[in-house]
Amino acid sequence: MNSITENLSRIKAELPKQVTLVAVSKTKPNEAIEEAYSAGHREFGENKVQEIQNKVPALPEDIHWHFIGHLQRNKVKYIAPSVHLIHGVDSLRLAVEIHKRAEQNNRVLDVLLQVHIAEESTKFGFDFDELYSLIESKELETLTGINIRGLMGMATFTEDSSQVRREFQKLKRGFDKIKTSFSNCDTLSMGMSNDYKIAIEEGSTMVRIGTDIFGGRA
């Protein structure tokens, strides 16, 4: 198997320069993150609040921590001081809580709104109709503690690449549509180990890759 450093440099060489690579380090030990850090990597993704809380104090301060999992409102306070970008905002109530905790920390937190694009019913996120009516309601604009940077979505886990492509195209169209509503909207987080090449072809600006960098998870 290739080393983490080799995997990172191979993947980075494939990415267009406007695409940010988030190395998804969930379940992986600090040593794995340190290896990627030594190779110059700074963007890491985690999906559990407890795990990110353990890792943050043990690892270099200039790491950008991306929270990519489903975030419960009662746990926002734990990540608000340290998180760089929250990818999975999927309700107005969660956005309100992030706004509140950001203000308590004298921060403005960058967030992405998560949209449900996959066929599976288990994946979190807004439907497009919900998203557009939330934006039209202007309620998000009152939340000065959050800065809406764009959208995040996960495609169906399937071998059918044309389906994956259609789902990413849908998300890109949604992104183009909402962009005009937010002045700092520049991030489209889509693509994981098995589908990031398609995601990039369809306009992704941020890919979240775990397995292809760190190997499989137990």
List Cβ neighbours of 63 (8 Å cut-off, separation of 6 or more): 33, 37, 42, 43, 44, 56
d(CA 9, CA 129): 39
Q: How far is the CB of 170 from ligand PLP (least distance, A)?
A: 17
φ and ψ of 154, to 5 deg = -125, 130
Stretch that binds ligand PLP, among 126-134, 160-168, 169-177, 186-194 (CB under 6 A): 186-194
Q: Which two tokens stand for residue 127?
A: 């439907």
Q: Which of 113, 120, 206 is nearest to 155 (CA)?
A: 120
Q: How far is the CB of 13 from ligand PLP (least distance, A)?
A: 17
> How many residues contact ligand PLP, by CB under 6 A?
14
Identity of the residue, 76 or 112, whose beta carbon is nearer to ligand PLP in the bound complex: 112
Query: What is the contact mask toward ligand PLP in residues 15 to 54, using x (rule: CB under 6 A)?
Result: ---------x-x--------------------x-------
211 near ligand PLP, rule: CB under 6 A: yes
Q: Which two tokens stand for residue 178?
A: 């909402």
193 near ligand PLP, rule: CB under 6 A: yes
Q: How far is the CB of 139 from ligand PLP (least distance, A)?
A: 25
209 near ligand PLP, rule: CB under 6 A: yes
Identity of the residue, 131 or 145, whose beta carbon is nearer to ligand PLP in the bound complex: 131
φ and ψ of 157, to 5 deg = -85, 95
Query: What is the contact mask toward ligand PLP in residues 144 to 173, using x (rule: CB under 6 A)?
Result: ----------x-------------------
d(CA 148, CA 31): 33
CA dihedral over 93, 80, 78, 123, signed as positive or negative? positive
Q: Which two tokens stand for residue 72?
A: 């419960």
Q: How far is the CB of 120 from ligand PLP (least distance, A)?
A: 13
Identity of the residue, 84 or 100, whose beta carbon is nearer to ligand PLP in the bound complex: 84
Cα-only R_g, the chain: 17
Q: Tokens 């990413």 identify what position?
A: 168
Residues that bind ligand PLP (CB under 6 A): 24, 26, 47, 68-69, 154, 192-194, 208-212
